[in-house]
Chain A
Amino acid sequence: MARMTMIEAVRSAMDVSMGRDDNVVVFGEDVGYFGGVFRATQGLQAKYGKTRCFDAPINESGILGTAIGMAAYGLKPCVEIQFADYMYPAYDQITQEAARIRYRSNGDFTCPIVVRMPTGGGIFGGQTHSQSPEALFTHVCGLKVIVPSNPYDAKGLLIAAIEDPDPVMFLEPKRLYNGPFDGHHEKPVTPWSKHDLGEVPEGHYTIPIGKAEIRRPGDAVTVVAYGTMVHVALAAAEETGIDAEVIDLRSLLPLDLDTIVQSVKKTGRCVVVHEATLTSGFGGEVVSLVQEHCFYHLEAPMVRVTGWDTPYPHAQEWDYFPGPARVGRALKEVMEG
């Protein structure tokens, strides 16, 4: 076991995968010599050579398009989109190509690629370095969508994603890279080295895609969250004293519906938290499924706590970010409801 930050865990996952399988290649903007703007690929070019880890032109559609072609050849590309906000030029390649190649060719061709992208805000990145576009991927059949919340999961899930036979969108909450940020921006973040989930095996292991994890068992209310919001929800439960059961989805597509349903049937209450905007966000899907499967167990209207339906602002970042105070208010609201 080693102590790793989330960046180190992601890097270790690629390192382990490249070491085990010559067909794994890593490329993207600034990922080669420099090792990526967040340093996720640092050292990989030196270790595996520049034909297996290299810099790409600033052209996301080209990065995805070439990755799809490489996958058709038989490689397993793991590409980086520098910020999730930069994936839009590649959206056509992701949605109409990568996601459908298996289906439209009846398995004649497949697309085992991983698209890593730092997601979410909290770093004063403004509207083009802070977005959480996961719902734009969960709406696309043929994709898998993962959002890890800690180094241990990030490594195990990324290795699983690289080994998966289908395209996987891997969204890394950038505010979690250095520690379990719980929304208290006024306080320094605890480093991962002081957190249980910063303890990461150095070798190969996988975490199954599609399995959620209960981070805090509780009886009063179910909180469904993923990524940074898992830590915010834990803080909110702590600070309000409400005995919330916090579910870390880890994988949004496929979704671990059983874990959610089981929990809500126990608590009778449900709060869904995400950083992405409210309208047509992934929370809408969760709430709809809970209504369908747990209606007669519900004791209060469900509540969503999300980013506002505005672009991600710069100076007002902490008024936009759904922090522990807002989540705490939602917990109280469903307890009173």
Chain B
Amino acid sequence: MNEVPHLSLHVPEPAVRPGGQPDFSTVKIAKAGAVPRPAVDVAPEDIRDLAYSIIRVLNRDGEAVGPWAGLLSDEELLTGLRNMMKLRAFDARMLMAQRQGKTSFYMQHLGEEAVSSAFRKALNKGDMNFPTYRQAGLLIADDYPMVEMMNQIYSNEADPLRGRQLPIMYSSKEHGFFTISGNLATQYVQAVGWAMASAIKNDTKIAAAWIGDGSTAESDFHSALVFASTYKAPVILNIVNNQWAISTFQGIARGGSGTFAARGLGFGIPALRVDGNDYLAVYAVAKWAADRARQNLGPTLIEYVTYRVGAHSTSDDPSAYRPKTESEAWPLGDPVLRLKKHLIVRGVWSEERHVQAEAEILDEVIQAQKQAESHGTLHAGGKPSVRDLFEGVYADMPAHIRRQRQKAGF
């Protein structure tokens, strides 16, 4: 009689843990310019390999090469650099403000600035993002006032959300930025619904959905892909793979699937994988997907391969679960430095101008911060009215909430 083997459970592990040598040898990186750029009406089954490669434009020498290059002017790239620098400076000041007790919580973008900043350029006014908590570049690149963002972070008397939402959970319909939930993945399928509505109304607007690598494991990610695929919704389905979901490495959510982008293939959704630290590549791929959506060709799934250099949030300590030097070993470099180098190679930028721009941007951020702080911070100065706590649950306040407000003494 044959002996039946005993089973064992497979639990994936990252290549290294704290104390180990960072190792990204498993991250296969295509050469810049090597991945072809198909026509937007390509059949999804003809570009399956794009879900397993990495589209890159900037090479090691800072040159823009290959079929995805050449879409942006000097001026547009300089603005892009400025937006990323502004986001980085904004993050640094707000992180410090949190440490100073001016707010309860903050989440920074360090290392991921190119993703949201470049993506915004591919959208038009009226299009709608359904973001997660790490896409503030969408607001900065659309010139949403930094002081408004800070008012929200401080939950002060000028907070557009009246102190009701966790810091950084912005909302701006005017700037195409759907109210951030703080819940995970729910917004992914909502974006598909928004896009379906635009198609139902024969409109010209498109939607963009955002999710992190870890949250792709949520049911709503799959719900979104089913609906987007079934109704060919004009939506761009973005996955920001920054390698870490708090302390959990991306292999736990990805499982046996080769890449996150490959998740789209079973749904018949074209899936592209892009260097998320390459401003030019992010824009080119986003533009390709936006063109597809606008031509009523349906959804596109994009995986941005990047790295979360900072902690998940101010409540997290990454040294407890990954090597401290891992970010330095990340093979796709720093998005700000890479675009800076490219602009220098193009002959439209210099080290001196960069230093000067850094100073100007820092000053701009500090001015905004001063203005915001004049309206108060979480524990000092002007606060939203306590009455606001009871407002806005419904369009009209029902009797039971009015009774509770009176009982509370407001």
A interface vs B, CB < 8 Å?
25, 51-52, 56-57, 59, 61-62, 65-70, 72-75, 89, 92-93, 96-97, 100-110, 141-142, 144, 165-166, 210, 253-255, 257
Contacts and interface: CB of A to CB of B under 8 A. Distances in A.
Given A72-B178, A106-B171, A106-B392, 17 more contacts: A51-B199, A62-B224, A62-B227, A65-B188, A69-B197, A70-B193, A70-B200, A72-B190, A73-B201, A74-B201, A75-B197, A96-B186, A97-B186, A109-B178, A254-B399, A254-B400, A255-B400
B21 interface: no
A206 to B, nearest CB: 15
A166 B190 CA distance: 17
17 contacts: A62-B192, A65-B189, A65-B190, A65-B193, A66-B190, A66-B227, A68-B190, A69-B193, A69-B195, A70-B193, A70-B196, A72-B128, A74-B201, A75-B200, A96-B186, A100-B181, A165-B394
B393 A103 contact: yes
Nearest to B235: A69
Contacts of B191: 69
Interface string B194-228: 11111111000001000000000001100110110
B353 interface: no
A171 to B, nearest CB: 19
A65 B200 contact: no
B193 A68 contact: yes
Contacts of B318: none
A73 B191 CA distance: 10
Interface stretch (B66-74, B115-123, B159-167): B159-167
B395 interface: yes
Contacts of A254: 398-400
B186 A65 contact: yes
Nearest to A97: B186
Interface in B363-410: 392-395, 398-401
Contact of B160 (A67, A101, A106, A144): A106
Contacts of A166: 394-395
Interface residues of B, number: 46
B172 interface: yes
B169 interface: yes
Contacts of A110: 395
B207 A69 contact: yes
A158 to B, nearest CB: 18
A52 B196 CA distance: 11
A105 B171 contact: yes
A62 B196 contact: no
B183 interface: yes
A104 B190 contact: no
Q: Which 9 A-B pairs have the closest CB atoms?
A: A69-B193, A66-B193, A65-B189, A62-B223, A105-B179, A73-B197, A69-B190, A69-B194, A105-B171
B283 interface: no
B387 to A, nearest CB: 13
Contacts of B162: 106
A102 B171 contact: no
Contact of A106 (B161, B183, B189, B230): B161
Contact of A59 (B198, B201, B207, B223): B223
B288 interface: no
B200 A257 contact: no
Given A70-B194, A92-B186, A97-B181, A165 B128 contact: no
Contacts of A25: 197, 200
Nearest to B189: A65
Given A73-B198, A109-B173, A257-B399, A102 B394 contact: yes
The CB with the most chain A CB atoms within 10 A, among B162, B165, B196, B226, is that of B196
A202 B401 CA distance: 36
Contacts of A68: 190, 193
Contacts of A73: 128, 193-194, 197-198, 201
A105 B169 CA distance: 9
B395 A69 contact: no
B194 A104 contact: no
Contacts of A72: 128, 178, 190, 193-194
Interface in B133-182: 160-162, 164-165, 169, 171-173, 178-179, 181
Given A66-B189, A257-B399, A104 B161 contact: yes
Nearest to A52: B200
B392 A107 contact: yes
Contacts of A257: 399-400
B183 A65 contact: no
B244 interface: no
B130 interface: yes
A69 B160 contact: no
B161 A65 contact: no
Contacts of A141: 393, 401
A103 B164 CA distance: 8
B392 A103 contact: yes
